[in-house]
Chains A and B, each alone.
Chain A
Amino acid sequence: MAHRPRSPYAMQPPVMSVVIEKQMDIMIARNTARRTASLLGFSPAAQAQLAGAAATLAELTLKTGDRHELHLNGIRDGFKDGIQLSVATPWLSGAPEGNIMLALRQKVGDLVDEILIETDPSPVIMLMMWQRKDDPHKTS
């Protein structure tokens, strides 16, 4: 399911997308997430966290049997820089937001800083990770 990436935060490059329609795409999603996080100056440990979150999200969407597009992009909130993973999930329309959030927290809650679900006009899952000020790899 294609969607234009959107975010409650200011979006910035790099913007990358991965189509999820077969098992191999999970690996590609993980690789793309690592690359994006590396470009944004995240530490190797943070890159691994984000890659884990991307792979988990890709795996969840793959189970539906439909084609999905996973988007990765930089985000900024004031002086805070981060990265966002998002995927449109129209098949979640009508599902209680609390239940979706609970399931996502169990799956990826330890790997990312924020989980958001936008339901209007159609559900989009957004995962955010922010750069730590004390991260020795921080580039900006």
Chain B
Amino acid sequence: MAHDVLLIEDSPTQAAQIKATLESVGLQVRVAYDGPDGLRMVLEQKPALIVLDVKLPTMDGFQVCRRLKRAPETASIPVIMLTEKDGAQATMSGLQAGADDYIPKDIFATEHLMNTLQELGLMS
């Protein structure tokens, strides 16, 4: 059975691209376009992985990640932050919020995402 991934990304274009990438390795992807919607969808059906953008309306990715990692029912779900904020400070903020990985959206993003999926045992 395919692993279920929840992608939280407000840009429909980027969401479609990331969704296609994840589906290309056999993952089943649901998409939420903001933080509150994402948190609701996590509770509806616990995903095997959450891919989270930082820049989101209403509640940013750091806040969403902190909420997920503080709640006992969602704390163990791996979170990969995929983001345009790539400075040392942003990286540290993401990891301190509890993210399992922090990947800048650059030309190597897909390669790193695949590598991390493999390390998390979500693709063969």
Contacts and interface: CB of A to CB of B under 8 A. Distances in A.
A14 interface: no
Given A31-B108, A44-B116, A52 B87 contact: yes
A44 B91 contact: no
A68 interface: no
A21 B104 CA distance: 21
Most buried by B among A30, A31, A44: A44
Contacts of B91: 48-49, 51-52, 111
B29 interface: no
B94 interface: yes
A44 B101 contact: yes
B88 A108 contact: yes
A47 B101 contact: yes
Contact of A27 (B87, B99, B102, B107): B107
A53 B88 contact: yes
A56 B87 contact: yes
Interface of B: 80, 86-88, 91-92, 94-95, 99-104, 106-108, 111-112, 115-116, 119-120
29 contacts: A30-B104, A30-B106, A31-B106, A31-B108, A31-B111, A31-B112, A34-B108, A34-B115, A38-B115, A38-B119, A44-B100, A44-B116, A44-B120, A45-B95, A47-B101, A48-B91, A48-B95, A48-B101, A49-B95, A51-B91, A52-B86, A52-B87, A55-B86, A55-B87, A56-B87, A56-B88, A107-B88, A110-B92, A137-B119
